[in-house]
Structure 1
């Protein structure tokens, strides 16, 4: 079974320290990631450039995907407040390894722009270009629903299980009903990334399993993507893998293959060789 991580960050410089619980290191290179991936049995990974702390990370991600085409692809980004960005979205996938777009929309100014409609141009433009878009929609599920309903041909991905970013354990699943209700929209998928970071328990983080099962049941194996966000995980990459491959009795067979990589590749159009 091929295992493909739905989200990692790599970077070569920092203007500001990496955000949140990410490793406080000046760089985390493609080669460092590949070493850890090989040790963990991870075949490939989808890079999300951490633009907020390394403005050159998008170019570095593309360079890495070009250098290691069988190991990396990219969900890139560009500055949303730059008028020139409206031109950049045309032909975006012509870059090596580029699959789509991802903005966390985490910071207050981004949230303000979202709710004021200043980002309304992005969704139809991405829909027209056939670009999947990932975001931390758990921060703004009602607004996210409106976007998904208004653009049914736009493939959207909810980051980090749609959990509440600053909560732990049961509290992290505070919007679980609303998240699962979004599964009725066929253009919405969920990245099951970063799950161990939401638990105060040790591996295998059993207090998360029921919530993950509910999300899986709602979205199904082709819209529920395993991944790590490894540079902020409280456990090893291998443990992130085995939490899903060995500790979830309801995730087996073809469903497991879909969750661990096939579903992601089909959703974003990554023509990965599974043979």
Structure 2
């Protein structure tokens, strides 16, 4: 079984030549996290491949992630950032995958002005353009599942992935259940998949995270193993990388070997078109 992590960040330091946004350090997980650091952690955890997601706190940049994908094409692919508010971004998605290592887009609507972009029309242009280009989109949109429902309905050819099961990073324990109640309703859309990433940081129990087992089973029962993607978001995990991998591989007895193959990598590779 090839284990493919559906989300990890790498990033460079804040420098005069490559400055971060003014609020970047408020949300960052450290000054930098390099591809070499990630490769070392992958080796220790038995992870073969990673979908790289450039972090929003660094700004709308894809350069470091694309460089990693070029250097290690058997290990990395990229879901890149695009500046939704820049008119120059429009019309660029038809050739988006011409960038070596690029598979699609990752959009965040979780803080700052972006919180309003699903409602105020700022993001309206990206859905039909991505659908026409065949680009999958990973979306972090906590508290906005009604908007995602409408987008999936309006653009049935657009492949969407809901990051972190649509959970806010500050939700813990019983606080995650109302979100899961709403999330599983989206399973009726064949063009929506979900990323079971960083869930160990949404509960207060330690490995093997018993409070997560039935919650994960509920999501898998709703979406099926082909539309549930294991991911770590390793730099934000409140566990070790290997513990979070073993949660799925060793502790979830309801998952058959064939289910695990899809959840632990095959599903995300096929959904994103990682050849």
TM class by smaller structure: over 0.9
Moved more, 40-49 or 176-185: 176-185
Residue 42 of structure 1: aligned partner: 47
The Cα shift of 1:127 comes to 0.2
Q: 2:105 aligns with which of 101, 105, 108?
A: 101
Change (3 A) 1:269 1:18: farther
Residue 166 of structure 1: aligned partner: 170
Q: 1:53 aligns with which of 50, 57, 64?
A: 57
What do the CA deviations read for 1:60-104 (whole angstroms, capped 9, x no partner)? 111110110000000001211111111322200111111110012
**Structure 2 counterparts to residues 169-208 of structure 1, below 5 A:** 169-208=173-212
Provide the C-alpha distance between the structure 2 equivalents of 1:23 and 1:151, rounded to a whole number of angstroms.
34
Provide the C-alpha distance between the structure 1 equivalents of 2:247 and 2:25, rounded to a whole number of angstroms.
26
Provide the C-alpha distance between the structure 2 equivalents of 1:207 and 1:195, rounded to a whole number of angstroms.
10
The Cα shift of 1:166 comes to 1.9
Provide the C-alpha distance between the structure 2 equivalents of 1:79 and 1:56, rounded to a whole number of angstroms.
6
Provide the C-alpha distance between the structure 1 equivalents of 2:43 and 2:60, rounded to a whole number of angstroms.
26
**Structure 2 counterparts to residues 1-150 of structure 1, below 5 A:** 1-14=1-14, 15=20, 16-18=23-25, 20=27, 23-24=29-30, 26-50=31-55, 52-55=56-59, 57-150=61-154
Query: Quick check: 1:46–1:74 contact (8 Å CA) kept in 2?
Result: yes
Q: 2:232 aligns with which of 198, 210, 228?
A: 228
Provide the C-alpha distance between the structure 1 equivalents of 2:128 and 2:154, rounded to a whole number of angstroms.
9
Residue 252 of structure 1: aligned partner: 256
The Cα shift of 1:57 comes to 4.2
Provide the C-alpha distance between the structure 2 equivalents of 1:189 and 1:169, rounded to a whole number of angstroms.
23
Provide the C-alpha distance between the structure 2 equivalents of 1:246 and 1:261, rounded to a whole number of angstroms.
16
Provide the C-alpha distance between the structure 1 equivalents of 2:168 and 2:60, rounded to a whole number of angstroms.
29
Compute the TM-score of the two structures, normalised by the length of structure 1. 0.94
Aligned with 1:106: secondary structure?
coil
What do the CA deviations read for 1:17-74 (whole angstroms, capped 9, x no partner)? 5555x532x1111111001101110000000001x32237411111110110000000
Moved more, 33-42 or 80-89: 80-89
User: What is the RMSD computed on CA atoms of the aligned residues?
Assistant: 1.4
Number of residue pairs matched by the alignment: 268
Query: Quick check: 2:109–2:116 contact (8 Å CA) kept in 1?
Result: no
Query: Quick check: 1:12–1:57 contact (8 Å CA) kept in 2?
Result: no
Give 5+ residue unaligned stretches, structure 2. 15-19
Provide the C-alpha distance between the structure 1 equivalents of 2:173 and 2:231, rounded to a whole number of angstroms.
19
Provide the C-alpha distance between the structure 2 equivalents of 1:265 and 1:178, rounded to a whole number of angstroms.
26
Q: 2:222 aligns with which of 209, 215, 218?
A: 218
Q: 2:155 aligns with which of 145, 151, 168?
A: 151
